[in-house]
Amino acid sequence: MQNLSKSRYFTISLICIWLAFVVSALVYFQLGQLKPFDEGKMLKQQNWFSQFKNQVLWQNKDSAQLVIITQENCGCTIQAQPHLSALQRFATNQGVEVQNFVLNNELKSVIPATPAAVLIDKNGEFVYAGPLSEGLACSQGSGFVETVISNLQAGFNSSLLIADTKGCYCVNNA
C-alpha cells in the first residue's frame, strides 16, 4: 500500500512538472512574437505623411480612405486575417473606401512593420497611422483603427499616430 501512494505521488509530480514545462514554453514562444511596431521611429520623421501619400499615389476622393499594408509570407498577417476581414467590412459599412497594398520596396521607406493601416480623411488630411492593433496575434479585440473610424464618422479627427506599441508584427528591416 505504501508503494501505491509513492507511485501516485511520483505520477502527480511528473504531470505537474510536465504541465509547468509546457506552459513555460508556450509563454516563452508567444512573448517572443511580440515586436515593437516602429522601433526606428520611422513614422515620427518629418514629412512622413506626405512621403506616404506619394508612395500610394493618393488623390483626394469623395470619402475617407483606409490604406491597409500587409506583407506576403508574414505569419502575423495570416494570424490577423479574421481581423483584417472584419475591419474591411466595418470600414466599408462606415463609408470608408479600403485600399490594400502589399509591402513593396517603395512602401518599405515609409512603413516600419506590417500589418499596418493609414487612414486619410476625404480632404487628404492625416487621421491615423500605425498597426491594426497590439498584443499577441494582433487580435481584433484591441483594434485601434475601428475606434478612429468611428471617431472620424462622428466628426472628430484624432490625428492619431501609434508607433510605440508591441504586437505580432513583421518588422521591415529596410
What's residue 117's pLDDT? 94
Q: Using alpha carbons, select from 54, 55, 43 the residue that is nearest to residue 169.
A: 43
What's residue 97's pLDDT? 92
State pLDDT tens for residues 94-138: 999 999 999 998 899 899 999 999 999 988 899 999 998 877 655
Sign of the four-CA dihedral 152, 163, 74, 124:
positive
126 Cβ contact list (under 8 Å, min separation 6): 49, 120, 159
CA–CA gap between residue 80 and residue 143 (Å, rounded): 11
Angle at which helix 81-93 crosses helix 145-153, to 10 degrees, equals: 0
State pLDDT tens for residues 20-67: 888 766 666 565 667 888 888 998 888 999 889 888 876 667 889 999
Residue 99: how many other CB atoms lie within 10 Å: 14
Given a cut of 80, whether residue 18 has pLDDT beyond it is: yes
What's residue 53's pLDDT? 87
**Backbone phi and psi for residue 22, each to the nearest 5 degrees, phi listed first:** -65, -45
What's residue 129's pLDDT? 93
What value does the mean pLDDT take over residues 7-19? 83
Q: Using alpha carbons, select from 73, 88, 74, 75 the residue that is nearest to residue 132.
A: 88
Coil/strand/helix, residue 89: helix
What's residue 66's pLDDT? 94
Residue 139: how many other CB atoms lie within 10 Å: 17
Q: Are 84 and 140 in contact (CB under 8 A)?
A: no
Higher-pLDDT residue of 154, 32: 154
What's residue 14's pLDDT? 83
What's residue 162's pLDDT? 87
Q: DSSP character for 99?
A: E
Instruction: Among 19-28, 88-97, 162-171, name the most confident range.
Output: 88-97
**Backbone phi and psi for residue 113, each to the nearest 5 degrees, phi listed first:** -160, 160
